[in-house]
Structure 1
Amino acid sequence: MKLKSILFTGAAVIAASTPVAAFAGDVRGTVTDAEETVSIRAAEVRIVELDRVATTERDGGFSFSGVPAGTYTLEVS
């Protein structure tokens, strides 16, 4: 299976002496076969570090909302 995902996160800088504030964002993607021709329905997608799970829809799509800014590992089964 192949996984495509986009992580939308935001950060704001108020002033040079103020720390950066990180905001939560969305992780969305699609799970397909290796040739990217068939969408995989009912696959389980997990954000390892947060132990959050989503199940793909009929079109192979999945989403997580409110994901803190950072780097994550996604597992698909």
Structure 2
Amino acid sequence: MNHPDTTRMTIVGPFAVYAGNAAIARQVVKAVLRRRSHPAFGTVRLPTGENVDWVDMRHPALRPQAMRMEGIGGPACRRGR
């Protein structure tokens, strides 16, 4: 059973947010998107004082790592297989 204050990963668009519930996750994503630009991951401090971690899974800085994890772009791909 999950307690309301249990932190879990919630996916909101391209973001993975580690928050207690989906409403908080959406609030964090809105705060990140209000910025002109943002890094690949970070922490947002909510007005309640809670720190919430997030990761932008589609951020360009993470693309090479994600491709390696999925096996995309490896030697077999370069040989046209």
TM-score under structure 1 length normalisation: 0.25
Highest Rg: 1 or 2? 2
More helix by share: 2
More strand by share: 1
TM-score under structure 2 length normalisation: 0.25
Answer 1 or 2: higher relative contact order, Cα 8 Å, separation at least 6: 1
